[in-house]
């Protein structure tokens, strides 16, 4: 089973050790955090930089459908859009991945075979995470066996909020072990963690347990990705790499719908973690409707006029 980063092995030796470590992290200045996020969000970019940012954002999208009414046909259509987002312009980048439930992973894998677009699958009783560990691990095994390249797991927020931090850590370790070659994204559901200090602690638990990405949200609650909570997580991965040499990705998800929103997040990445994270191997957007707006803005830059939503597929 994977172990924590050597520099922090003592921190995860016991429940009390992990608690001491987490509560020894610097407290978050909420006012300062929100002010910095708001300030970075006002940065303006020139037309050439905007064109670059739009293409970069498209390449970072995990194009997502996570509905009870999902069908194989819908997943195949979404996969086709991920591979060829704008049929009128073949220079449009492909998205990073298509994200589906485990029972749709095989359909997505077949549709995306040879395209370079990854198959991401939510698991561990997404979105609530309310299941026994053996059920969660079976969920992961099924998704990986069906062809998932990436697993998006949810943490046990009940365990976290009741202070059972080692349980959360050990569950992530167990899921990571089942992933094999698949990369693991750990979802905190930041809207349910109540405080920025809790988001910082959850970020460190995920990183110590071997997450390849830390992710804000499921997209299924009222408060999802925000500039402030994403900034806080970017600071965490930056600090973790500085201390361990290990780079970890960040994925804001839920509520990012417009090109303007996406550009704000890319500025956060560049100004906080740095250029090394401006790549879809290290930064993703969990989104379903964002791609359409990016495509419309891309068409506007190339043609000088808006094509309108009727010229992009409706998801």
Task: Give the span between the Cα atoms of 215 and 224, in whole angstroms.
Answer: 10
Task: Give the span between the Cα atoms of 121 and 108, in whole angstroms.
Answer: 10
CA dihedral 252, 258, 261, 266 (to 10 degrees): 70
Residues taking part in catalysis = 152, 215, 251
Q: State the alpha helices, DSSP H only, in the chain.
A: 15-23, 30-40, 47-59, 72-83, 105-112, 133-145, 157-161, 165-179, 196-208, 227-244, 259-272, 290-303
Please name the residue that has the structure tokens 């909020």: 161
Instruction: Decide if 82 contacts 75 (C-beta within 8 A).
Output: no
Q: Nearest 5°: phi and psi at 111?
A: -70, -30
Closest CA to 138 of 116, 127, 153: 153
Q: Nearest 5°: phi and psi at 61?
A: -80, 130
Q: Which residues pair with 250 in a beta bridge?
A: 214, 283
Burial class (CB in 10 A: 0-12, 13-18, 19+), 197: middle
Q: At what angle do helices 196-208 and 227-244 cross, to 10 degrees?
A: 40
């Amino acid at each position: 089973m994977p172990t924590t980063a050597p520099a922090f092995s003592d921190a995860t030796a016991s429940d009390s050790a992990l608690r001491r470590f987490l509560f020894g992290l610097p407290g978050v200045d909420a006012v300062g955090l929100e002010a910095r996020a708001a300030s970075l969000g006002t940065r303006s970019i020139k037309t050439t930089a905007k064109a670059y940012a739009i293409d970069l954002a498209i390449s970072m999208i995990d194009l997502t459908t996570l509905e009870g009414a999902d069908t194989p046909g819908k997943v195949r259509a979404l996969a086709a859009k991920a591979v060829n987002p704008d049929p009128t312009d073949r220079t449009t980048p492909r998205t990073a991945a298509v994200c589906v439930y485990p029972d749709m992973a095989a359909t997505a894998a077949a549709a995306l075979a040879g395209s370079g677009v990854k198959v991401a699958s939510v698991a561990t009783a997404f979105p609530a995470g309310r299941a026994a560990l053996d059920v969660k691990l079976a969920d992961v095994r099924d998704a990986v066996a069906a062809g998932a390249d990436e697993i998006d797991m949810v943490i046990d927020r009940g365990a976290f909020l009741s202070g059972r931090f080692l349980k959360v850590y050990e569950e992530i370790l167990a899921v990571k072990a089942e992933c094999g070659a698949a990369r693991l994204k750990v979802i905190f559901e930041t809207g349910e963690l109540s405080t920025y200090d809790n988001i910082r602690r959850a970020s460190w638990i995920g990183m110590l347990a071997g997450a390849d990405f830390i992710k804000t949200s499921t997209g299924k609650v009222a408060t999802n990705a925000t500039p402030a909570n994403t900034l806080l997580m970017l600071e965490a991965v930056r600090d973790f790499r500085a201390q361990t040499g290990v780079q970890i990705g960040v994925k804001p998800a839920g509520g990012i719908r417009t090109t303007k929103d996406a550009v704000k997040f890319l500025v956060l990445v560049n100004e906080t973690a740095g250029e090394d994270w401006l790549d879809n191997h290290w930064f993703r957007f969990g989104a379903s409707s964002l791609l359409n707006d990016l495509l419309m803005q891309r068409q506007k830059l190339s043609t000088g006029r808006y094509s309108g939503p009727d010229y992009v597929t409706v998801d």
